[in-house]
């Protein structure tokens, strides 16, 4: 590890809290089951794939008759996918649970994500090691990776590793794809008569792994607060200098939860929610005009500055751009030598094969932005939207539109734009108290699920808008959250992503104020994450989570 800051030394001493119902002696923790479960959709197809794990009941831990095994257990843990604040505390919760159950229990950390399980690359996690990572950000204790366990050989190799280490369980900490993989692994192990149980934990800063069973994915709280702090700093600067419009792109490809939460915390002049843009079928021109309207109105008040928030995946939600990207993906997939072409050759190749409507949009973009759409595809064959500088695209188009309005005598202000992309700044931040407690509780609950003999479940904590003492711990079968989706030309079971609900209270709360924010400087400066002080400041959950627990 690198040198340790004074704050980090103090954070080591923070004792992560557990819900009251699971904080006492294991002898006093009971388990209660609900009725059998069904998948969210496509029940028959999901049931056919998960013959051995489908239909299991949700579980809830409570004070009561003991059902927790206290025999020595060997468990493995995997960090899968992108970083999210609090991952180390999940591992700490698993470790402490195992040792509380029996001091002879062992925890192995697989290195570099799922590939560590496939290749049997691991370390044994000791008290000395885990104590160096409690309440810290990042995934550097064992690293992460995006390998998917999907081929017969990968499944077989994973089983061999589990047998060699005599594993009673594997805990997979990841997002929707990683936990879908966990469910498939659980089914495979049972089909082979293996004793190794599989338990998942919900992780992603994007906030799109949530539903009526999972109230929040860990890391979202810290990441959103980190971005809101940075946005607040920029707002304070803008309100001081009074001469720049800041275009800020925020991480979140498939869903706009982070952008919505940041808006609720800071009150920007302009904020787009991708899900609404798609629902209203807004064009790129509509988006540009909305920004220009705010710029013009604020200029009339003598305020030639402002802040616009833009979700990372916005371009894929604008129907005409979505169509363009699909056409580009088709061209790229069919051109075997595409990767070896120069940028100019790629541009020419794609432009010549687009439909007339898409070609018009493609060629109207600044060429450097258009070329970004031709970058190397991700493992799923999709454009890497994080590489498309949407914030620069919009800033440039707004500038051009304002120049036209000025010629028409409809705009008399001054416009100067600065652009930002906040992504990696939030993924590995030191976890907030909320995430430190939530993650520790998820990890400890994962141990309880293992010790209760369950497999194919995801650890869940409910009642998150209340103090930690009132949280409710349990687990739900991963298949409950699934539907079938088309992936690479095949129908596959996946956990359904949670997009922003534009009929939900968080969005409606934002929408009720945005018109005023677009004209009037209403900035809020949330400041840095606080770890010490009044509980209402240090332990507070996100505004989104608070609103989701309130009636409409």
The residues annotated as belonging to the active site are: 206
- Find the largest Cα–Cα distance for the chain: 80
With tokens 């430190």, the residue in question is: 436
Alpha helical stretches, state H, 131-172: 152-164
Count other Cβ atoms within 10 Å, centred on residue 63: 11
Planar angle of CA 77, 79, 85, nearest 5 degrees: 120
Q: How far apart are CA 541 and CA 372, in angstroms?
A: 37
Alpha-carbon dihedral sign for residues 159, 162, 168, 170: negative
If we measure between CA atoms, which residue out of 275, 273, 283, 310 comes closest to residue 386? 310
Planar angle of CA 282, 284, 288, nearest 5 degrees: 100
Bridging pattern class, strands 472-477 and 457-462: antiparallel
SS3 78: strand
Query: What is the helix (H) or strand (E) element at residue 486, kind and residue range?
Result: strand 482-487
Q: How far apart are CA 207 and CA 134, in angstroms?
A: 23
Residues composing the chain: 552
If we measure between CA atoms, which residue out of 325, 215, 294, 260 comes closest to residue 521? 294
Q: Is 385 left (phi over 0), alpha (psi -120 to 50) or beta?
A: alpha
The distance of Cα 404 from the centroid of its chain, to the nearest Å, equals: 40
Planar angle of CA 112, 432, 419, nearest 5 degrees: 80
If we measure between CA atoms, which residue out of 387, 367, 377 comes closest to residue 332? 377
Q: How far apart are CA 415 and CA 409, in angstroms?
A: 15
Q: How far apart are CA 312 and CA 386, in angstroms?
A: 6
Count other Cβ atoms within 10 Å, centred on residue 257: 30
Burial of 337 by CB count in 10 Å (0-12 exposed, 13-18 middle, 19+ buried)? exposed
Q: How far apart are CA 500 and CA 497, in angstroms?
A: 10
3-state secondary structure 359-399: HHHHHHCCHHHHHHCCCCCCCCCCCCHHHCCHHHHHHHHHH
Q: How far apart are CA 394 and CA 288, in angstroms?
A: 7
Q: How far apart are CA 525 and CA 271, in angstroms?
A: 16
């Amino acid at each position: 590890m690198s040198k340790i800051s004074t704050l980090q030394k103090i954070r080591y001493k923070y004792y992560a809290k557990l819900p009251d119902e699971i904080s006492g002696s294991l002898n006093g923790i009971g388990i209660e089951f609900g009725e059998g479960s069904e998948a969210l959709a496509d029940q028959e197809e999901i049931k056919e794939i998960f013959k051995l794990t489908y239909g299991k009941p949700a579980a809830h831990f409570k004070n009561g008759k003991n059902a927790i095994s206290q025999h020595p257990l060997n468990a493995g843990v995997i960090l899968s996918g992108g970083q999210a604040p609090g991952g180390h505390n999940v591992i700490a919760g698993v470790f402490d649970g195992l040792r509380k159950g029996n001091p002879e229990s062992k925890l192995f950390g697989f290195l570099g994500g799922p590939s560590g399980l496939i290749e049997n690359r691991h370390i044994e996690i000791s008290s000395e090691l885990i104590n160096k990572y409690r309440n810290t950000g990042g995934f550097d204790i064992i690293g992460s990776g995006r390998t998917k366990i999907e081929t017969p050989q990968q499944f077989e190799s994973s089983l061999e590793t589990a047998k060699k280490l005599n594993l009673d369980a594997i805990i997979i900490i990841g997002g929707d794809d990683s936990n879908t993989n966990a469910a498939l692994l659980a089914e495979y192990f049972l089909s082979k008569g293996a004793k190794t149980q599989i338990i998942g934990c919900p992780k992603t800063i994007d906030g799109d792994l949530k539903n009526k069973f999972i109230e929040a994915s860990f890391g979202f709280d810290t990441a959103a607060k980190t971005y809101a702090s940075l946005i607040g700093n920029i707002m304070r600067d803008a309100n001081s200098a009074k001469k720049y419009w800041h275009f800020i792109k925020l991480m979140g490809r498939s869903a706009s939860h982070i952008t919505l939460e940041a808006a609720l915390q800071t009150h920007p002049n302009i904020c787009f929610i991708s899900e609404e843009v798609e629902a209203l079928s807004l064009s790129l021109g509509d988006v540009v005009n909305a920004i220009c309207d705010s710029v013009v109105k604020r200029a009339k008040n003598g305020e030639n500055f402002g802040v616009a928030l833009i979700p990372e995946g916005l371009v894929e939600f604008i129907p005409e751009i979505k169509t363009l990207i699909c056409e580009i993906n088709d061209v790229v997939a069919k051109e075997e030598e595409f990767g070896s072409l120069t940028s100019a050759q790629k541009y020419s190749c794609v432009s010549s094969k687009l439909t007339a409507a898409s070609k018009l949009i493609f060629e109207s973009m600044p060429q450097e932005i258009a070329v970004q759409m031709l970058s190397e595809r991700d493992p799923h064959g999709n454009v890497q939207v994080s590489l498309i500088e949407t914030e620069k695209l919009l800033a440039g188009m707004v500038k051009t539109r304002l120049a036209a309005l000025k010629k028409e005598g409809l705009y008399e202000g001054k416009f100067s734009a600065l652009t930002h992309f906040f992504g990696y700044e939030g993924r590995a931040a030191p976890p907030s108290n909320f995430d430190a407690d939530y993650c520790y509780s998820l990890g400890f609950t994962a141990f309880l699920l293992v010790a209760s003999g369950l497999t194919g479940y995801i650890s869940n904590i409910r009642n998150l808008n209340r103090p930690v003492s009132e949280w409710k711990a349990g687990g739900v079968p991963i298949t409950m959250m699934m539907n079938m989706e088309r992936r690479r030309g095949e129908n596959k079971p996946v956990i359904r992503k949670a997009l922003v609900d534009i009929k939900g209270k968080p969005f409606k709360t934002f929408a009720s104020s945005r018109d005023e924010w677009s004209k009037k400087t209403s900035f809020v400066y949330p400041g840095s994450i606080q770890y010490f002080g009044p509980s209402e400041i240090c332990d507070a959950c996100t505004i989104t989570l608070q609103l989701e627990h309130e009636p409409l």
